[in-house]
Amino acid sequence: MSIRIRIALGVALQTAVVVLVVAAVQFLALRSFLAVAEYERLEMLIPRLEQELAARPQSGAAPPLEITTLPRNVDVRVLQGGQVVAVTENFPPIPADLPPGYAPRAGHDVLIATVTLRGGAATAQLASDVLGVVNPLRAYLRALAVTVPTAAALVALLSFLLAGRLLRPVARLQEAAARLGQQGDLRSPLPGAGRNDELGRLAGTLQTSFAQLADVREREEEFTRAAAHDLRSPLAALKMRLQGSLAGPRSEAELREDMAEALADVERMRRLTEHLLLLARGVQAVQLLPVDLARVAGEAVDRAREAAPDVRLDFETRGDATVIGDEALLTHLVENLIGNGLRYGQGADMRVSVGGEADHVRLTVQDAGPGVPAAALPHLAEPFYQVNTARGGEGNGLGLAIVQRVAQTHGATLRFENGEPGGLRVAVDFPRTGTDQPEWPARDFLLPHNRNHSQ
């Protein structure tokens, strides 16, 4: 059942219920009004009854008088001293000893009142046929039986037409969304997006969501193409080396050289795959715990010194460097920054420093290499971006993207700037505590004996 039909039926049902409730209240009010009106009518007939009785005196031995001046639907009986002194022909069987008052009796509305007869008190019993009250009520109910279905049907029809008019923008929005799905152009404007009502806001929200999906899809496509490109190069090189090794006789030295080159290609693919997995990891598995960033950075510096003994790599730390974060991710961040400096610093000196301030902890990695063009600084953290667009060498353009992702996960800010007189300086500012995390106590740590300290 469509929303349009449900709206029409719902409004019709509500209308019928409201009409019935109002009709019930009106029915009770009408019945009370008719009962009061009948009581007042009977009460007004008492003076006329007294006049007729006074004009027609009767002896005690005569039969009861016949009342003739009252309306035909009103029967009367007059009692005095326990004797009937006047009565109409069709007076209903009502007890003679009823107390004064007004109440329904024997299918009649009966008024018991005291009248004056021959200088003494007598009791007059006036009985009115209830049809005077029942007939108007029956007529009202018959009218209601026609009015309620008619009103409900009319309201259902009008609601159906109004719902169709109100839902027409939704139908157009649905058609436009279906076309977007078929054509694939998620940035096409949606109808009604500029309207200042609920449907307009819905269309605007959907348009914004579709545009964000388009951005995500484009980034995924670009990401996939770049990943395939970077994986294809070492795979092709590995294939050529293996084919060359099998093409003819090779000496042991030549085979060792081929195997070393093949191992380098495999290592490059492993590193690329690891970076891709880190970028796709998200924040679901992140464990925010107190981490000594100076210790993490110092261990990374030690490993870098062993891997590149010809590069002077200084390390300094000051203050409390405890941050709230994931140690594995922070290790990747520091290693990628140092690896980036080693790879593109062209063997120049490097310096890594960790400083604890009042509200943040700053990690700085600076090399004395040639630096990068100022126009390239805003793009360094983009996946697969390389200042040298030839995509050659050992880099894959994901190291600084990993750094950016880890920094965002920890609520840190990442800045790139050219140093003086040269080189690239990267600064990462970590908040002292994570979001909604308690203040963790500072932890003492020992640096390996071969680190350089600057307090």
CB 434 within 8 Å of CB 288: yes
For residue 47, what pLDDT is reported?
A: 86
How far apart CA 403 and CA 124 sit, in angstroms, is: 108
According to DSSP, residue 98 is labeled P
Cα separation of the two ends of the chain: 76
Q: Which domains does the chain have, with CATH numbers?
A: 3-135 (no CATH), 198-274 (1.10.287), 282-431 (3.30.565.10)
For residue 205, what pLDDT is reported?
A: 81
How far apart CA 416 and CA 341 sit, in angstroms, is: 12
Each residue's pLDDT, cut to its tens digit, for the chain (455 residues) gives 777 788 888 888 888 888 888 888 988 888 888 888 888 888 888 888 888 777 776 555 456 767 777 787 888 888 888 888 888 888 888 888 888 888 888 888 889 988 888 778 888 888 888 777 778 888 888 888 888 888 888 888 888 888 777 777 777 777 777 777 676 677 777 776 767 777 777 777 877 887 788 777 776 776 676 667 666 767 777 788 788 788 878 788 888 888 888 887 787 777 667 666 665 655 455 678 899 999 999 999 998 998 889 999 999 999 999 999 888 789 889 988 998 888 888 888 999 999 998 889 999 999 988 888 888 888 888 777 777 643 334 555 677 887 888 888 888 999 999 887 788 999 999 998 644 433 333 333 222 333 333 32
According to DSSP, residue 104 is labeled E
The helix (run of H) or strand (run of E) holding residue 5 is: helix 3-55
For residue 191, what pLDDT is reported?
A: 74
CB neighbours (10 Å) of residue 288? 17
Torsion over CA of 290, 294, 296 and 301, rounded to 10 degrees?
170
pTM of the full structure = 0.46
Amino acid type, 227: A
For residue 435, what pLDDT is reported?
A: 41
Token reading at 419: 């140093």
Instruction: Give exposure, 80-114, as e/b (b: 16+ Cβ within 10 Å).
Output: beeeebbbbeebeeeeeeeeeebeebeebbbbbbe
If you compute the radius of gyration of the chain from its CA atoms, what whole number of angstroms results? 50
How far apart CA 371 and CA 374 sit, in angstroms, is: 9
For residue 450, what pLDDT is reported?
A: 35
- Can you list the pairs that 5-10 forms with residues at least 24 positions away whose Cβ atoms lie under 8 Å? 5/160, 7/159, 7/160, 7/163, 8/156, 8/157, 8/159, 8/160, 8/163, 9/156, 10/159
CB 316 within 8 Å of CB 345: no
Strand 313-318 relative to strand 350-356, pairing: parallel
For residue 305, what pLDDT is reported?
A: 92
How far apart CA 262 and CA 46 sit, in angstroms, is: 127
For residue 299, what pLDDT is reported?
A: 92
Closest CA to 298 of 229, 354, 368: 354
Q: Which residues contact 327 (CB under 8 A, 6 or more apart)?
A: 289, 291, 296
Q: Can you spell out the DSSP letters for 337-401? A: HHHHHHHHTTT--EEEEEEE-SSEEEEEEEE-S----GGGGGGTTSTT--SSTT--SS--S-HHH
Based on DSSP, count helices (H) and strands (E) in the chain, helices before strands: 7, 13
